[in-house]
Chains A and B, each alone.
Chain A
Amino acid sequence: MGIAEYQAYGYFGLTAFLVFALYSYIYHLYSTDKKDGGHDYENYSNIALNDDISDAPVSPISDDKEK
């Protein structure tokens, strides 16, 4: 089998994988705010809008440590 064939298989396989990943990402984005413990992605817009140093972070680092 020549290098061109490996190339073609590699190309096909990786593209298929990335397309799959992209679609599951879309699913994730739109389903997570309905789940328990999920969150609404649109809230992240506020990271820019409330970006004063004294504003409360949208998802503070300390949240994580408590878990």
Chain B
Amino acid sequence: MENRPLEYDYTVAKMFMFTTVVLGIVGMLVGVILAFQLAYPEVNTILGEGLAEYTNFSRLRPLHTDAVIFGFTFSGIWATWYYVGQRVLKVSMAESALLMFLGKLHFWLYLVGVAAVVVSLLMGITTSKEYAEFEWPIDIAIVVVWVIWGLGLFGLIGIRREKSLYISIWYYIATFLGIAMLYLFNNMEIPTMLATNAAGESGIGAWYHSVSMYSGTNDALVQWWYGHNAVAFGFTVPIVAMIYYFLPKESGQAIYSYKLSLLSFWGLMFVYLWAGGHHLLYSTVPDWMQTMGSIFSVILILPSWGSAINMLLTMKGEWQQVAASPLIKFMVLGSTFYMFSTLEGPIQAIKSVNAIAHFTDWIVGHVHDGVLGWVGFMIMAALFHMAPRVFKREIYSKSLMATQFWIQTLGVVLYFTSMWIAGITQGMMWRAHDEFGNLAYSFIDTVTVLHPYYTIRGVGGLLYLVGFLMFAYNMYKTMSARPVEESELQSASPMGA
């Protein structure tokens, strides 16, 4: 047997922490470029006319969404899984060579996938479906990566010492299953290769091209069932998994009500999948489905707030920690933004509101108060909490962290307030009629009026990016500039000046 005492092994967690930071920077930088392209179209040719094909708004937009979702967010999810998973199951990755191998394979294949995605999106190879832009060869790679993660996930659970699964594990399992189901069904497509080979002609056109199994209205239905729930299982479920671990751990407080956390879990699982229809209100999908989409979106407030309130109440009697620790600030503000956007979403899903809000920038604003305020904050907080433990060093600078918090908060507020105003202005102008019953505005009027708001949004996004760079710097310095600590850390993370 070994002489050294058993320790948790964070090798894979560290790898994913690295990609979280790098892909976060890439994705958000592209986001800022997009924002300024809408305010100042000259930015489309930022690298010159010759490269405009690759740097214009429409080519870059899918790169932004996929880099922040599948790059930043999923790296963050996996970084925390390879950390939290071991700890709440009380088993170390070092105990199983197989799991260790799967973990590393997961990372490296993922990295290959990311590279393939970046190249193909820049070349304009896309299926056009939001967050499912990849053609079938990449889809297959993604499925393989996913299965490997699943093997690792259930493998680790299989050798656990803790019989009961902690609530965070429930949420990780749900993430795994949910995305697997959604992704498979939404990406059902027929490679053109199959037909051309059968017709006796081989290799007509692009070999990677495929045709969606679904057409028109059905395709839309499946896509938004996917699109909405990819948000659920990418931006909600795993992030809730994180906060249920990191907030209690950092504050040293038990979850306010563990029972409530379990109930909200099942509530969320049941209700969320129905809400996808709210993306298709007033479209050509059947009425009753649209109505279900609306109703369930409103019901969705209950389980969402169940989790959020549970988190806030966890801090009961310990509110001085919020003032004292920037790390706790990130998580508490994150929960608050979660409450905010889970209230805003259902409001937008009410049919009469949706009539105005759909297709406008208000939706973009809604997306970003969720992702910047909740997903981004929570992932950064998780990494801040993990850093002193995986690197065994105290966080490089607390004051940098506090500054980052305020800069980014300002950024988020600028972003969503400007998009609120922009969206509602746009929606009202589109539908305005003059006294003779003619349309009051031509379309271009509704575009030029948005210029100031697009500029403010760009500035807000830039602030958020600056904050993220401060985060990256702080992490880097934590890894390199601090002396190694000896003792294992308990709750609150140690921070330098």
Direct contact between A and B in the complex (CB less than 8 angstroms)?
A: yes
For residue B92, which residues in chain A have a CB less than 8 angstroms away from its CB?
53
Q: Does B129 contact A (CB under 8 A)?
A: no
| Inter-chain contact B263/A48, CB cutoff 8 Å | no
| Inter-chain contact B87/A44, CB cutoff 8 Å | no
| Inter-chain contact A47/B254, CB cutoff 8 Å | no
Q: Does A49 contact B (CB under 8 A)?
A: yes
| Inter-chain contact A18/B5, CB cutoff 8 Å | no
| Inter-chain contact B252/A47, CB cutoff 8 Å | no
- B267: contacting residue among A22, A29, A53, CB under 8 A: A22
| Inter-chain contact B254/A60, CB cutoff 8 Å | no
| Inter-chain contact A25/B258, CB cutoff 8 Å | no
- B164: contacting residue among A42, A47, A55, CB under 8 A: A47
For residue A41, which residues in chain B have a CB less than 8 angstroms away from its CB?
258-259, 262
Nearest Cβ in chain B — how far from A63, in angstroms? 7
| Inter-chain contact A47/B166, CB cutoff 8 Å | yes
Q: Does A66 contact B (CB under 8 A)?
A: no
| Inter-chain contact A61/B266, CB cutoff 8 Å | no
Residues 162 to 177 of chain B near chain A (Cβ within 8 Å) = 162-164, 166-168
Once the chains are docked, how many angstroms separate the CA of A31 from the CA of B399? 47
For residue A55, which residues in chain B have a CB less than 8 angstroms away from its CB?
90
Nearest Cβ in chain A — how far from B446, in angstroms? 40
Nearest Cβ in chain A — how far from B23, in angstroms? 28
A53-B90, A59-B162, A61-B160 are contacts. A45–B255 as well, Cβ < 8 Å?
yes
Q: Give the A interface residue count (CB, 8 A).
A: 27
Once the chains are docked, how many angstroms separate the CA of A49 from the CA of B258? 13
Interface residues on B, range: 20 to 34
Once the chains are docked, how many angstroms separate the CA of A61 from the CA of B168? 19
| Inter-chain contact A18/B270, CB cutoff 8 Å | yes
Nearest Cβ in chain A — how far from B19, in angstroms? 25
For residue A59, which residues in chain B have a CB less than 8 angstroms away from its CB?
162-164
Q: Does A10 contact B (CB under 8 A)?
A: no
Q: Does A38 contact B (CB under 8 A)?
A: no
**B256 to chain A: closest residue by CB:** A45
**A55 to chain B: closest residue by CB:** B90
Once the chains are docked, how many angstroms separate the CA of A22 from the CA of B244? 21
| Inter-chain contact B163/A64, CB cutoff 8 Å | yes
Nearest Cβ in chain A — how far from B265, in angstroms? 10
**B245 to chain A: closest residue by CB:** A48
**B247 to chain A: closest residue by CB:** A48
For residue B164, which residues in chain A have a CB less than 8 angstroms away from its CB?
44, 47, 58-59
A44-B164, A49-B248, A53-B92 are contacts. A22–B266 as well, Cβ < 8 Å?
yes
**B166 to chain A: closest residue by CB:** A47
Once the chains are docked, how many angstroms separate the CA of A48 from the CA of B174? 19
For residue B87, which residues in chain A have a CB less than 8 angstroms away from its CB?
48, 51, 53
- B252: contacting residue among A18, A44, A49, A57, CB under 8 A: A49
Nearest Cβ in chain A — how far from B174, in angstroms? 16
Q: Does B8 contact A (CB under 8 A)?
A: yes
For residue A43, which residues in chain B have a CB less than 8 angstroms away from its CB?
258
Once the chains are docked, how many angstroms separate the CA of A23 from the CA of B248? 27
| Inter-chain contact B163/A44, CB cutoff 8 Å | no
Residues of chain A whose beta carbon lies under 8 Å from any beta carbon of chain B: 18, 22, 25-26, 29-30, 41-49, 51-55, 57-61, 63-64
18 interchain pairs, CB-CB under 8 A: A22-B263, A22-B266, A25-B266, A29-B259, A29-B263, A30-B259, A41-B258, A45-B254, A47-B88, A48-B87, A48-B168, A48-B244, A48-B249, A49-B252, A52-B488, A53-B87, A53-B92, A57-B162
Residues of chain B whose beta carbon lies under 8 Å from any beta carbon of chain A: 5-8, 87-88, 90, 92, 160-164, 166-168, 244-245, 248-249, 252, 254-255, 257-259, 262-263, 266-267, 270, 488, 491
